[in-house]
Structure 1
Amino acid sequence: MLKLNGVTRRYGDIVALDGLDLIVPDDTYLSLLGASGSGKTTLLRLIAGYEEPNEGEVLLNGERLDGKPPHRRDIGFVFQNFALFPHLSVSDNVAFGLRYRESGAIESKAQIRERTEDALNLVGLDGFGHRGVGEISGGQRQRVALARTLVTEPRIVLLDEPLGALDANLRARMCDELRAIRERLKVSFLHVTGSETEALTMGDTVAVLADGKIAQVDDSSTLFSQPKNPAAARHLNAWNLLPGVVEGGALRTSVGLLPIVEQVADNTPVQLAVRFDEIGVCDPAQVPEAHDHFEATYVTGEFNGPTALSFFRTPDGELIQVVDHLSDSRLPDLKEGQAYALHFPPDAAVLFKGAA
């Protein structure tokens, strides 16, 4: 089990990680979701030993790692750009760590060849060992980088946006393959990504990194449907957030007074969150009975294959997004510049106490 206790990393006056706590259990695939600049890569570098925390501790199976050099931590790291040696063959890239690691280097050519071939077979590259890394595709190079990491049998594998350099179709295939490989090896993977879709698809568990701390850790389904705070909701890119203040048992927002189900004291700052796919759109005079609603102007739409995303602007400039599944379309034909009622059942709204 990997455990980080109160880990802080500062760069001058900039705090990249702020007293962060995180646990990666044994035999699990944990996705770490965060925006660009949130400290995701910094966190991996601290675990791997390429940087050291200013405060806090990093432990693996109870053993303190901070202060140890990277090559003595027994941690695998798959870099975003793969970091392969261009002058070496696929096999030589994979075998490099076996030959040259400080502790436990293998001298037997037969043993090196057997372990290298096993690693290549594991990632689906059996028969590719003789090729140069410039002679294979981006997806194959990603697999070589993974094989080079796995061949040394690390206790945990860190993946820094490993699918970022691949095209969409290849990313989808590699998602399945990475999960299958991890399940066969029974070693934990910590997979960093800025894509909410990738994080939810890959992780048995997903951790959201925001403002230098872990905002929420949960399984994919729970995180998507029940975010615990605004930071988690924003990173999922599936929730609209409307800030307001409680007034007489309702919420005073920029779009008017909205009913709330929960009992909250007056003058409490609150953010109301409604998921993109929970919002319906209709003429202001035809709002379904028992639905809460507010008015907004249709701006434009975005076609995404099986879904379409519609954008609306509230009178004070807030952008509201509504998703429609085209196999079961529920939105009317929308006209740019026209005002519509955006409605939702009261139980679809989630309240987060605190200012935006």
Structure 2
Amino acid sequence: MSTVLQLKSITKAYGDMRALNGIDLALPGDAYISLLGPSGSGKTTLLRVIAGFEHPDAGAILFDGKRIDTVAPHQRGIGFVFQNFALFPHLSVAQNIAFGLENRDVDPVTDRRIVDARVRDIISLVGLSGLEGRAVTQISGGQRQRVALARTLVTEPRMVLLDEPLGALDANLRARMRAELRAIRERCGVTFLHVTGSEAEALGMGDTVLVLESGRIAQSADSDTVYNRPASPAVARFLNCYNLFAGRIEGGAFVGGVGRFALGASAPTRAASPAYAIRYDRVSVRPRDTAIAEDEIRIEANFVASEYSGAAVNSFFALDDGKVFEVESHLSHAAPETYAEQGRYALVWKREDALVYA
């Protein structure tokens, strides 16, 4: 698959704060790329640098093999969908979509028949047929999202940047729009770079997931790899599905504040600082006097509370060092357990299920 966008050592600082710290990145054509990161990691800055709304302090941006970091935003051939949609309230759905075609600096389309045909085609593509004459103030949030996307796609960009495009939608609509955005992208055959702070959204949508941390790409991989093998403790922490322990590796074990955990056969992953991670759904809760197998790790903790999230229940336990430990139980496996308030339980997992960083 050919590379459509390449970033080489991109840096961007605001005073003493370095938002982008030597970003090296190559994005393939015809792919859905999720860019995930916590608030302040540089996600939106990176998107704005690619679009041309911000200029990098150093480095180079190549699009289709040509350097574009000195090219004006409207001449880059890259579309941008804003989080708040940025639609014109006084124009209809069709007029909003046609605006970019008719008013762009390079090769504006002036033939009314061509404009109408292009707008009609893109309206059908994004599922807005029948709403052409409706004011954008008279349609739903999901429909406005599609209008904003159609306005970008009608200009036939090679790449579309989406800045948290589902953030303004309610939870049910966000879930539906995930599938719709993927389907629209596949029909268009262009690359989407979708910025989000939601790990579920990024993992569910991206062919490739980029995790940004402190202005650097901390991991670039498929969703399964990012979820099951986060490249660093910081990535694991941001995924919000791992319990993490600080400590050190000593004599074939990880030694931390709540005990000594024997290591599995897998070699530790290199990281900036040692850490031990176990995913919430890899842990079982047992009576404290239950025996464990030779390949299992066990700690004790006091039950605090449980929280239902629909398909699963998350239970919270207080460890002896004061930290909170989380266990996720999927309700498709069994009915939820009931734990005694402040009851003492054993938390058990397989040695091989843990991730160790050294």
Shift of 1:237: 1.3
Q: Report the Cα distance in structure 1 between the residues aligned to 2:22 and 2:323, rounded to whole angstroms.
A: 33
Alignment-mate amino acid for residue 222 of structure 1: T
Aligned counterpart, 2:332 = 327
Structure 1 stretches of at least 4 aligned residues deviating more than 4 Å after TM superposition: none
Alignment-mate amino acid for residue 165 of structure 2: P
Aligned counterpart, 1:53 = 56
Shift of 1:247: 2.3
Shift of 1:132: 0.6
Shift of 1:223: 1.3
1:177-219 deviation per Cα after TM superposition (whole angstroms, max 9, x unaligned): 1111111111000001111111011111111111111111111
Partners of 1:295 and 1:340 within 8 A in 2: yes
- Per the alignment, in what secondary structure is the counterpart of residue 177 of structure 1? helix
Partners of 1:9 and 1:55 within 8 A in 2: yes
**Alignment of 1:348 onto 2:356:** no
Aligned counterpart, 1:285 = 289
Aligned counterpart, 2:155 = 152
Give the root-mean-square deviation of aligned CA atoms.
1.5
Q: Report the Cα distance in structure 1 between the residues aligned to 2:287 and 2:336, rounded to whole angstroms.
A: 11
Alignment-mate amino acid for residue 271 of structure 1: A
- Per the alignment, in what secondary structure is the counterpart of residue 282 of structure 1? strand
Indicate which of 304, 310, 315 corresponds to 2:309: 304
Q: Report the Cα distance in structure 2 between the residues aligned to 1:248 and 1:103, rounded to whole angstroms.
A: 66
Alignment-mate amino acid for residue 319 of structure 2: T
- Per the alignment, in what secondary structure is the counterpart of residue 184 of structure 1? helix
Aligned counterpart, 1:272 = 276
Indicate which of 316, 319, 331 corresponds to 1:314: 319
Question: 1:287/1:13 Cα in 2 relative to 1: closer, same or farther (>3 Å)?
Answer: farther
Q: Report the Cα distance in structure 2 between the residues aligned to 1:198 and 1:250, rounded to whole angstroms.
A: 35
Q: Structure 2: where are the runs of 5+ without partners? A: none
State the identity %.
52
Alignment-mate amino acid for residue 118 of structure 2: R
Shift of 1:62: 1.2
Q: Report the Cα distance in structure 1 between the residues aligned to 2:204 and 2:291, rounded to whole angstroms.
A: 35
Length-normalised TM-score, structure 2 = 0.95
**Alignment of 1:295 onto 2:315:** no
Aligned counterpart, 1:12 = 15
Shift of 1:34: 0.8
Question: 1:333/1:66 Cα in 2 relative to 1: closer, same or farther (>3 Å)?
Answer: same
Length-normalised TM-score, structure 1 = 0.95
Shift of 1:331: 6.5
Shift of 1:350: 0.8
Q: Report the Cα distance in structure 1 between the residues aligned to 2:336 and 2:116, rounded to whole angstroms.
A: 60
> Which moved further from structure 2: 282-291 or 108-117?
282-291
